[in-house]
Structure 1
Amino acid sequence: MTKRRTKPTATERVRTVLADEIVRGVIGPGVPLDEVSIAERFDVSRTPVREAIRQLEVIGFVEARPHRGAVVPSFTAERISEMFAVMAELEALCAHEAALRSTPEERNRLTAAHEACRIAALGGDIPVYYETNLLFHDTIYAISHNGFLAEVTLSVRNRVAPFRKAQFQSTGRLMRSVSEHETVVRAVLAGDADAAAAAMRDHLTYVRSSVGSVTPNLKG
């Protein structure tokens, strides 16, 4: 049984909101992130704000510039497409290996994770779907039985996570995502590695296009 994620910390809350606003263009390129004003906005001390900004810097959502502090960088459609292309190949490889190496018990876990996504999507609950979607992909990584591949894939996912989250604002995206997951799951359960990889690659391609529909500043 997989544990539900715990309540977000102050740092996670600040990081998540700032990342989402950067993706949607609410906080535009070149805008400085002032620790004092952010701390006041979230009613927290500067410590979690400073850590949130540091974490955003790690995934490329913030740049440290001399005499200006932390500022929001520019994201181009080409750069985002490059990131998703790498993400798609890594996740495709995870799905490929999962189809070959997963045990019956692990395939049951994948089926359960998929069902949790379906239930969340039917309820139209975006926050819950986001969490169950993470669990679904985490399960794919785990049952690939390649620890290094899982680590690298998770590292890349962390860099595109705010963009992946934004996609769920697109009309009809939750159920479309579930349908894409279904294709992956069927291939994994059948032990068809090539089909699993192709399905996961297609899934990430759809994710990228959905991101574009809710982040118009990245089109082009």
Structure 2
Amino acid sequence: MATLDAFAQEKRPRVTEPQTHALNIQQTLEQEILSGVLAPGARLEEVDLSARFNCSRTPVREALRQLAAASLITVKPRQPAVVAALSARKLIEMFQVMADLEGLCARLAARRISSAQIERLKRAHARMESLAQSDDVDLFYEINREFHEVIYEASQNEFLTEQTRSLRNRVAAYRKLVTQRPRRRTDTLTEHAAVLEAIVGGDEDKADKTMTAHVNLLGEKLLDFIALFPESDEAFRR
């Protein structure tokens, strides 16, 4: 048996030090991009990153390659990588698709959510209520993300969850900008309450519709979103 165990260990791929460095760098930069610490358009110089993480350029390049594969950064030949910056028009299109995906998550959650997940949703909503009038936008945004993550999990559809989370991650920095507006935080609580009520009540149609409306950029939300972009942005005229 010991011989078989030894053979199995020999065949198991070993994680090398550069791979470990690359994963750590990737996870750190990803978190900074999603939290808005690294804003869209920020340059990611290999030399600076090597110095920051105290490693060679090899793991830095691998980390950047993985971030580019996730569409979080853009890489061009002989130029520094930059955090992906999306046009207003592109973002609105992405929000429209994300709204439908999140609506489907909520619809499935209304059918499949467990009692433990309901309690987690209620706790997240209560925590957001306590922060609505505070200046701690970062914490409000993080708990908001947790609220949505519970719904993804409750949908019990891994592929849907992966696609929804991937798209949400790509627009995360822009969502956070909108969240910084006090009025938007108040509206978020009202909309979350409607989603929560529908899911707890098992109302699939209402859960879908309220979540879709919550995420989509319509009416005043669209105007607030457009205001985040400079007047010189040509995205809406293309």
Q: TM-score range by the shorter chain?
A: 0.7 to 0.9
Q: Does 2:59 align with 1:45? A: no
Structure 1, unaligned runs of 5 or more: 1-8
Q: Does 2:217 align with 1:179? A: no
1:157-178: CA deviations, max 9, x gaps?
2222222222222242222211
User: Which has the larger Rg?
Assistant: 2
Match of 2:215 in 1: 204
Q: Does 2:129 align with 1:118? A: yes
Q: Note closer, same or farther for the CA distance 1:18–1:139 as it changes in structure 2 (3 Å cut).
A: closer
Q: Note closer, same or farther for the CA distance 1:117–1:219 as it changes in structure 2 (3 Å cut).
A: farther
State the TM-score, normalizing by the size of structure 1: 0.76
Structure 1 vs Structure 2 CA RMSD: 2.9
What SS is found at the alignment partner of 2:156? coil
Q: Note closer, same or farther for the CA distance 1:194–1:53 as it changes in structure 2 (3 Å cut).
A: same
Cα distance, 1:38 vs structure 2: 5.2
Q: Note closer, same or farther for the CA distance 1:194–1:214 as it changes in structure 2 (3 Å cut).
A: same
Match of 2:165 among 151, 154, 160: 154
5 Å-filtered alignment, 1:186-197, equals 186-197=197-208
State the TM-score, normalizing by the size of structure 2: 0.71
Cα distance, 1:60 vs structure 2: 2.3
Cα distance, 1:64 vs structure 2: 2.1
Match of 2:87 in 1: 76
Cα distance, 1:120 vs structure 2: 2.5
Once residues 205 and 184 of structure 1 are traced to their aligned partners in structure 2, the CA distance between those partners, rounded to angstroms, is 14
For 1:62, the aligned partner's letter is I
Match of 1:4 in 2: none
Tell me the number of residue pairs that the alignment of Structure 1 and Structure 2 aligns.
Answer: 204
Once residues 104 and 176 of structure 2 are traced to their aligned partners in structure 1, the CA distance between those partners, rounded to angstroms, is 22
Q: Note closer, same or farther for the CA distance 1:163–1:66 as it changes in structure 2 (3 Å cut).
A: same
5 Å-filtered alignment, 1:1-220, equals 12-17=27-32, 20=36, 21-23=38-40, 27=42, 33-37=44-48, 43-45=52-54, 50=61, 53-71=64-82, 75-206=86-217, 209=222, 210-216=224-230, 217=233, 220=236
Once residues 147 and 18 of structure 1 are traced to their aligned partners in structure 2, the CA distance between those partners, rounded to angstroms, is 24
